Amino acid sequence: DTGVSQNPRHKITKRGQNVTFRCDPISEHNRLYWYRQTLGQGPEFLTYFQNEAQLEKSRLLSDRFSAERPKGSFSTLEIQRTEQGDSAMYLCASSLDRGRANTEAFFGQGTRLTVV
Amino acid sequence: EDKVVQSPLSLVVHEGDTVTLNCSYEVTNFRSLLWYKQEKKAPTFLFMLTSSGIEKKSGRLSSILDKKELFSILNITATQTGDSAIYLCAVLIRGKLIFGQGTTLQVKP
């Protein structure tokens, strides 16, 4: 399977615990995005990377959230001291940016986080 | 603030009907508008629109962009139950996709 891969698919955690999600993008894609989606809403932008550089982080994103893409390939999203409001589907997407031309973003299957 | 608004939020039709989904946007540095279909998990790509007035077609689905009036429509003709899904519109600006809230389409047999 050469699509975007996310692990784990599901995560249940207790409030206050830290969680980490992984995203493996399509191999030649230089852009990687993280989104959060709750029921009845469209995906909400969290952050994105161009290769290993984190280019933007949502102003709405708490300091408890951090993301990395150390070698410009896979990425991790960590949530520290989870709260019940963090319960959501976390989606990763990747695309190829060629300067003035972009390809569409392809999404992974998501990680569903439930904080109890 | 950049904004993407979709309408209607939900729609129920019968098989064979034609539907039109709307997406309007207020953004700076617009690059492209994209449509996605989301059934259970991951959104799957439908169309990317960059130029005004050029219709893109794929089977029973088609879409067009109006950059002057800042909107796009997605048409589905002869709907089938398999078209039931959330349809998401997103605008690509400054390297990131900003999504609307989606339109939930239910096609009844």
pLDDT tens, position by position, B57-95: 999 999 999 989 999 999 999 999 999 999 999 999 888
How far is residue A33's CA from residue A47's CA, in Å, rounded to a whole number? Answer: 6
Q: What is the mean pLDDT of chain A?
A: 92
Q: Report, as an integer, the average pLDDT of B94-99.
A: 88
As given in the structure block, the two tokens for residue A79 are 């949530």
Specify whether the CB–CB gap between B2 and B94 falls below 8 A. no
Q: Report, as an integer, the average pLDDT of A49-74.
A: 91
Question: What confidence score (pLDDT) does residue B96 get?
Answer: 86
Question: What confidence score (pLDDT) does residue A62 get?
Answer: 85
Question: What confidence score (pLDDT) does residue B33 get?
Answer: 95
Across the interface, of A91, A106, A110, the residue whose CB is closest to B45 is A106
How far is residue A75's CA from residue A68's CA, in Å, rounded to a whole number? Answer: 6
pLDDT tens, position by position, A77-116: 999 999 999 999 999 999 988 776 667 899 999 999 999 9
How far is residue A31's CA from residue B58's CA, in Å, rounded to a whole number? Answer: 26
**B41 pLDDT exceeds 90?**
no
Residues of A in contact with B4 (CB under 8 A): 42
pLDDT band at residue B7 using 50, 70 and 90 as cut-offs:
very high
Residue B3: exposure state from Cβ atoms within 10 A (0-12, 13-18, ≥19): exposed
Q: What is the mean pLDDT of chain B?
A: 94
Residues of A in contact with B45 (CB under 8 A): 104-106
Interchain CB distance below 8 Å, A105 and B45: yes
Interchain CB distance below 8 Å, A45 and B96: yes
pLDDT band at residue B103 using 50, 70 and 90 as cut-offs:
very high
